[in-house]
Structure 1
């Protein structure tokens, strides 16, 4: 039986990817801190899991949907560095290492951009905590000089899917009449449907020429204003109150998150994927929302 190792496979994206690979007949081994899985502290067990695997996909890392206290920042940083370094060390100890290592990264590595989109070739890094995390995360991956294992960093944009992730708070905002623009509404919202995340992983598996960093985002980003319009339309809500920047700052403190997650203009394009010939199942937001919000689609 073909084998895939999912590191940090217990989150929103990981659970979806696990289900899809199992549907394709794969054995899926998960590395996590949960007792039923291979534990991050057990180097020998990680090496054993990776032996003869078709690939390892690392999605591990504390959620950034929290207040950036010093303790949370340390955990966000360490959870990404330590797991990436643990996988690299284990791959080096394999007799038959996986031919592909896909590691999560973040499109937040790019600067706040309202003037032009960021591609892998011309993107400019920003400043601040989340940018430094992204840079260190990728550096940890590519610091391993692996002779037979291809390394790919997925610069993930905001992942949209059913029953979890960011869709839950966005749906709640619209449902309770708060589905207007946030801030000035001009900030760009780069996003990707969760099904396309899985399809990109498979596409990378099947295309040996792809390595390095990959913008994992739909080809049709929208402004925050357009995002909220599309959400209201899909949920049949005509009115949505806007939220000024100062309201988001107060609200962020109340619900325990950072306004940056909504106010930063994330504008990235999947140039390398499109050049490689990848075709998105959900290239536009209206099509993605139709799928996600249609309760008859499972």
Structure 2
């Protein structure tokens, strides 16, 4: 099986590639030298998608590229970079698929639970159609629209609406650990906003599941079956580290530090993976307590 991947150097992509072995993998990257350090030399690197006329030779295309959404303050310029880094690559990949006489069997493309925008405690599955119209929704809506243009009788498209990816190898948990280890971690605001999370292992195994099951297509929430409030998340993390959990991060402080981007932490969504479960996927880490057991080590 031959696979083309964008975003291969990120947390998900770099951990997915070893799982896809011994498949023949090509990775699009703007920095080949850096990608070789992260991924090794047994991968074919493509530095410019314009080098390709089509993707006839590939069985699977996985599109995970995108500027990290929470690494920098959302200035107008940063917002544009976040959008362009997702939309332009997705447009190029979809056009390559359309140019192909023998297109890939499956196109898997990223998105996020931010598609739903800020919500209360309503349980949200893939059929939910009352998204809050804000930056995260607008970003994901356009991203998904572009990806869906690759759908045909030859190519099925799977969209991954991903929650907070939890792993000791990097990502959100890696950034959360330092203050909690120091005993100064705690809830954000009132802590009642829901956090829809997924363990990295389920993220990876879920993608493999979609590749292998030719009946899978459409939108899938990539979140664990049991989302929790930010207060519960903080409590469980502090308990796993044998630390207190009483210091709260006031909303006004977060807004002063992060600006509009603070909305990602102050608000949330209670998202469940209905379609992934219905497709037969069994979660390795369905409960948060299972995840934090490894934090103690």
| TM-score when normalising by structure 1 | 0.90
1:31 matched to 2:34: no
The Cα of 1:193 is off from its aligned counterpart by: 0.6
Contiguous gaps of at least 5 residues in structure 1: none
- Give the length in aligned residue pairs: 285
What is the aligned partner in structure 2 of residue 21 from structure 1? 20
Aligned counterparts of 2:262 and 2:279: Cα–Cα separation in 1? 35
Task: Pick one of 80, 85, 88 that aligns with 1:82.
Answer: 88
Aligned counterparts of 2:272 and 2:230: Cα–Cα separation in 1? 16
Secondary structure (helix, strand or coil) at the match of 2:221 reads strand
Aligned counterparts of 1:218 and 1:116: Cα–Cα separation in 2? 16
What is the aligned partner in structure 2 of residue 270 from structure 1? 273
Paired residues for 1:120-131 under 5 Å = 120-131=126-137
Aligned counterparts of 1:10 and 1:267: Cα–Cα separation in 2? 29
What is the aligned partner in structure 1 of residue 39 from structure 2? none
The Cα of 1:240 is off from its aligned counterpart by: 4.2
Paired residues for 1:137-152 under 5 Å = 137-152=143-158
Provide the aligned C-alpha RMSD in A. Answer: 1.8
Aligned counterparts of 2:4 and 2:174: Cα–Cα separation in 1? 28
Task: Pick one of 42, 66, 74 that aligns with 2:50.
Answer: 42
Cα contact 2:11–2:171 (8 A) shared by 1:
yes
Cα contact 1:43–1:90 (8 A) shared by 2:
no
The Cα of 1:81 is off from its aligned counterpart by: 0.8
What is the aligned partner in structure 2 of residue 259 from structure 1? 262
Cα contact 1:108–1:134 (8 A) shared by 2:
yes
Secondary structure (helix, strand or coil) at the match of 1:28 reads strand
The 10-residue stretch of structure 1 (224-233 or 270-279) with the greater mean CA deviation from structure 2: 270-279
What is the aligned partner in structure 2 of residue 281 from structure 1? 284
Aligned counterparts of 1:123 and 1:230: Cα–Cα separation in 2? 32
Task: Pick one of 172, 177, 181 that aligns with 1:171.
Answer: 177
The Cα of 1:145 is off from its aligned counterpart by: 4.6
Secondary structure (helix, strand or coil) at the match of 2:20 reads helix
| TM-score when normalising by structure 2 | 0.90
The structure-2 alpha-carbon separation of the partners of 1:282 and 1:207, relative to structure 1 and needing over 3 Å to count, comes to: same
The Cα of 1:202 is off from its aligned counterpart by: 1.3
The structure-2 alpha-carbon separation of the partners of 1:195 and 1:145, relative to structure 1 and needing over 3 Å to count, comes to: closer
What is the aligned partner in structure 1 of residue 252 from structure 2? 246
Cα contact 2:107–2:150 (8 A) shared by 1:
no
The Cα of 1:108 is off from its aligned counterpart by: 0.7
Aligned counterparts of 1:88 and 1:114: Cα–Cα separation in 2? 35
The Cα of 1:173 is off from its aligned counterpart by: 2.0
Aligned counterparts of 2:77 and 2:191: Cα–Cα separation in 1? 31
Contiguous gaps of at least 5 residues in structure 2: 34-44
Aligned counterparts of 1:108 and 1:147: Cα–Cα separation in 2? 29
